[in-house]
Amino acid sequence: MRPTLDTDFFSLALPRAIGHRGCAGTYPENTMVSFQAAVDVGARYLELDIHTSRDGKVVVSHDGELERACGRGGVIRQLDYADIASADAGFTFSPDGGSFPFRGRGIRIPLLHEVLSAFATTRFVIEIKQTEPSVVPALLGVLDETRMRRMVLVASEYQAPIDEMRAFAPEIPTNFPYQEVAGFLQAVASRSADYRPPGDALQIPPEYESWRLVSPETVEAAHRFGVEIHVWTVNEESEMRELLELGVDGILSDFPARLLKVIREMSLH
């Protein structure tokens, strides 16, 4: 059973190989070079994270601060985008823990508008990381400007932005925030017959603390309830194969080329 929303996000064949923050294992995450690298190896889905700047721009960044990715201080919501764009988004990335091949190469934190415009035939998982102030109106504005409403799934671990997105744009598919994941798992455990899924795709890790979240039972239940199950963040080929054999619908990986290779190999058999 598949989601029935009027959207192109789910229109491609399964399984969905989703480049996590682009190609974050080999390029600075959430940057244009990272997204381009993922698309170049064949990824048709990209995952990214958003905040808003002080001047209301939708900025593609996992963290609300610049320190981890750029090696300098600054809070995104307290800075105009011109200040954010002056940071070196390749500064701290190291593929081996010792070299910094992207430092000083002019790589910056991009705007969502430019990412969506550059990859207009790609599907996106857009994760809202900021709850205050709300990013939803600005996000919908960018989706309308780029004509990408049909190409996205909006995600968040927080309930408030997902509730707001569903209220303002019910045609856009969403994930299950933390509390809704718990509700789904409770429905599976209790074998509930009247459970109604609030979202369209469960996006969960394989396990959480001592709980195994992705199992034959949860995959079967998700499909019975009419939702997809996407697993993050999976970088080892053996685990990719195990999850695909379970029947998960998508995998988020820092190494999309590795994931696509596994999918090709499994399809041959």
> Per-residue pLDDT for 95 more than 60?
yes
DSSP for 125-179, please give it: EEEE---SS--HHHHHHHHHHHT-GGGEEEE-SSHHHHHHHHHH-TTS-BB--HH
* Closest by CA position to 84, among listed 48, 123, 110: 110
> Per-residue pLDDT for 198 more than 80?
yes
For residue 1, give Cα distances in angstroms to 29, 155, 228: 33, 21, 9
Q: What beta strand segments (E) does 13-75 contain?
A: 16-20, 45-52, 58-60
pLDDT tens across 147-180, in order? 999 999 999 999 999 999 999 999 999 999 999 9
- Report the predicted TM-score, pTM, of the whole model to 2 decimal places: 0.97
For residue 57, give Cα distances in angstroms to 42, 54, 154, 252: 29, 7, 18, 26
206: which strand partners?
none
pLDDT tens across 47-57, in order? 999 999 999 99
**Whether the Cβ atoms of residue 108 and residue 33 lie closer than 8 Å to each other:** no
Give the C-alpha separation, 18 to 42, whole Å. Answer: 10
Give the C-alpha separation, 77 to 93, whole Å. Answer: 23
